[in-house]
Amino acid sequence: MFDIIAFDADDTLWHNESLYTATQTKLEQLLAPYLNGEDVGQRLYAMETRNIPYFGYGIKSFTLSMIETAIALTEGRVMSEDIQQVITFAKEMLDTPTQLLDGVHDVVAQLSKSHALMLITKGDLLDQQRKLDRSGLSDYFSHVEIVSEKAEATYQTLLAHYKLEASRFLMVGNSLKSDVLPVVAVGGRAVYVPYHTTWEHERVSPDAVQQSRYFELAHIGLLPDLIETMRKRESE
Amino acid sequence: MFDIIAFDADDTLWHNESLYTATQTKLEQLLAPYLNGEDVGQRLYAMETRNIPYFGYGIKSFTLSMIETAIALTEGRVMSEDIQQVITFAKEMLDTPTQLLDGVHDVVAQLSKSHALMLITKGDLLDQQRKLDRSGLSDYFSHVEIVSEKAEATYQTLLAHYKLEASRFLMVGNSLKSDVLPVVAVGGRAVYVPYHTTWEHERVSPDAVQQSRYFELAHIGLLPDLIETMRKRESE
C-alpha cells in the first residue's frame, strides 16, 4: 500500500526537545546571578527565531543564540568563563547518548520487514547523523534525508527524486507543521504522533490543522496496527 | 564516457577559504589589544581541529572555535561585546554573496548539456544550500549531495545510491584529501584543480599523493578540453 514509510527523527524516534529544555534550565541557572528575574526562555526563543535564517536548526545554532541571549540580557556583563560554560553545555548535548522513545525499536524493526523505510529529518547534518549512528536503527532505513527545512517543496523534491507517487508515501512524525500538514498538502498520507512537549517554533494554529486530514496516534507502538487497518480498508 | 561529473563546491566553483582567511584577520585585529603577539591563527586552527568531532565544518563551527580561542588566548579577559562582534562576523560571512571562480559558469553550463552534473560538498547544510541558491548554478545540477565528511566510504555510498559504476564517475575539486584521493581509491576518476590557498586541514603529504593517479588542471576552464581528450583516448 505504501512504497515508502518515512519517519521524522527528533521526538518521533528519540528524545530531543527535552535535551534542549534541560540545557535552557542550565542557562537560566548560569545567568540568574546577573538578572532580576528576566524571562530567559522568552528572550532565548526570540533570539533563536531571529537567528534561524542565519544559523538554521540544531545544537550549534542553539548555542550561538544562547551566547547572544546571555550577552544581551546581562547588557554585556556576562563573564567570558560563563560564555565558555555555554559552549561546554553544547558539547555535553552533543555527547548525550541517543535515547529512543518507548516502542520505537520494535516498530521500526517490524515495519522494515514489509516496507522500505526512510528517515527525513531537519537540522544539523553532522548532529543528526551522529544521533542515527548511535540509535542502533540505521540498518533499518533504506534512505536517510537530512534537510534544512520541511516545507511542501521539500517533500515534492523528495518524491520526485525517489520517483514516488504521493498517495503511496506515508510520513510519521511529531510535528504538525513539519511532518504532517505539508505532506498532506502534496497528496501524501501522514500520521501524527505527538511528543509530550513541542518547541514553540513547531506549533501551528488549530485552523490550519482542521483544514488538513491525517491520522493521530497516542503512541508510535500503535503504528503497525494502523497501517494494517489502512491496508484492509483500501483493499475492500 | 562518464555517467556523472561531480563537482566540489567551496574553492572549486566559488571562493570560500578567502572568506575564512579574511575573517581570521578581523579576529586578529579584534584580539590584538589583549595580546602580546601570540599567534591567533595557530591557536584557532588547533581549536578548530579539536572541535571538528563536535561541530563539524562550516561557519557556525568556525564561529564557536573563534569564541573559544578568544576566551582561551585572553585568559578570560575578552569582553562580551567583542564576543558579540565575533558572532556578527559570522553573520557577515553568511550574508556574503557567492562569488564564482573565473570561468566556472561557462564550464558548468557547457558540461551540463552533455552530462548529468552532481554537486558533492561537505559542510553545513543550510550554509551550502544558501551558497548554491545564490550562485546561479543550481539549475545545472541534477543532484546535490551535502555530506558531513568526504571519505572513501562516502563516495562508495553515493555510487551505490545512484547505481553508478566507479569508472564512469568523475569528480572535480580543489582538495586532494577530500575530492581526489578517496575517489581514485574507490576506482573513480578525479581532476584536481588547486585553489590559490588551501586550509591546513585539507593538506596531505606528498607520499599519499604520489600513490594516487589523477589529472591536475591549473584552471577549471580547461576541464571541457580534458574530458574531450579523455573521451578520444578511451575510444581509440
> pLDDT for A57-101, tens place per residue?
899 999 999 999 999 999 999 999 999 999 999 999 999 999 999
Cβ–Cβ below 8 Å for B55 and A129:
no
Select the residue of A54, A67, A94 nearest B67 (Cβ to Cβ): A67
Q: How many CA atoms lie within 13 A of A198 on its CB side?
A: 16
Q: Average the pLDDT over each of A98-112, A218-232, B100-114 and give the range with the smallest value.
A: A218-232
**Distance from B221 to chain A by nearest Cα, in Å?**
30
Query: What 3-state class would DSSP assign to A5?
Result: strand
Fold designation for B4-15+99-235: Rossmann fold (3.40.50)
Task: Report the chain A residue with the minimal C-alpha distance to residue B129.
Answer: A148
Give the separation between CA B79 and CA B83, rounded to whole angstroms: 7
Select the residue of A64, A91, A129 nearest B87 (Cβ to Cβ): A64
pLDDT tops 90 at residue A205: no
Select the residue of B61, B78, B79 nearest A60 (Cβ to Cβ): B61
Task: Select the residue from B47, B60, B141, B144 to test the A interface by mutation, using most A Cβ atoms within 10 A.
Answer: B60
Residue B71: list chain A partners with CB under 8 A: 80-81, 83-84
What percentage of chain A exceeds 90 in pLDDT?
A: 79
User: How do beta strands A116-122 and B4-7 pair?
Assistant: unpaired
Give the separation between CA B203 and CA B220, rounded to whole angstroms: 20
Please list the alpha-helical segments (H only) found in chain B: 17-31, 40-55, 59-73, 80-95, 104-114, 125-135, 152-161, 181-185, 206-210, 223-235
Q: Among residues A30, A226, A223, which one has the least CA distance to residue A109?
A: A223
Give the pLDDT mean for A9-33. Answer: 96
pTM of the model: 0.86
A175 class by beta-carbon count within 10 Å (0-12 exposed, 13-18 middle, 19+ buried) = buried
Q: Which CATH number applies to A17-95?
A: 1.10.150.240
Q: Among residues A232, A227, A230, which one has the least CA distance to residue A107?
A: A227
Check residue A209 and give its pLDDT: 59
Residue A131: list chain B partners with CB under 8 A: none
What percentage of chain B exceeds 70 in pLDDT?
A: 97
Q: Do residues B67 and B83 make contact, with C-beta atoms less than 8 angstroms apart?
A: yes
Q: How many CA atoms lie within 13 A of B138 on its CB side?
A: 11
Residue A78: list chain B partners with CB under 8 A: 80
What are the residues whose beta carbons fall under 8 Å from the beta carbon of A213, sequence distance 6 or more? A184
- Set of cell numbers at residue A122: 531537519
Select the residue of B67, B81, B125 nearest A125 (Cβ to Cβ): B125
pLDDT 10s digits, B36-66: 989 999 999 999 999 999 998 899 999 999 9
Check residue B102 and give its pLDDT: 94
Residue B60: list chain A partners with CB under 8 A: 55, 60-61, 64
- CATH 3.40.50.1000 in chain B, residue ranges: 4-15+99-235
Which run of H or E residues covers position B120?
Answer: strand B116-122
pLDDT tops 70 at residue B207: no
Cβ–Cβ below 8 Å for B67 and A83:
yes
Check residue A203 and give its pLDDT: 72
Give the pLDDT mean for A33-37. Answer: 94
Check residue B234 and give its pLDDT: 79
Task: Report the chain B residue with the minimal C-alpha distance to residue A50.
Answer: B91
Cβ–Cβ below 8 Å for A94 and B54:
yes
User: How do beta strands A189-192 and B143-147 pair?
Assistant: unpaired
Task: Report the chain A residue with the minimal C-alpha distance to residue B65.
Answer: A87
Residue A83: list chain B partners with CB under 8 A: 67, 71, 80, 83
Task: Report the chain B residue with the minimal C-alpha distance to residue A80.
Answer: B76
Cβ–Cβ below 8 Å for A80 and B71:
yes
Select the residue of A71, A124, A148 nearest B83 (Cβ to Cβ): A71
- CATH 1.10.150.240 in chain B, residue ranges: 17-95
pLDDT 10s digits, B79-115: 999 999 999 999 999 999 999 999 999 999 999 999 9
**Distance from B216 to chain A by nearest Cα, in Å?**
31
Amino acid identity for residue A216 in this structure: E
State the average pLDDT for chain B: 92
Interface A-B, measured as beta-carbon pairs within 8 A, has a size of: 85
pLDDT tops 80 at residue B236: no
Cβ–Cβ below 8 Å for A124 and B129:
no
* ipTM, two decimals: 0.85
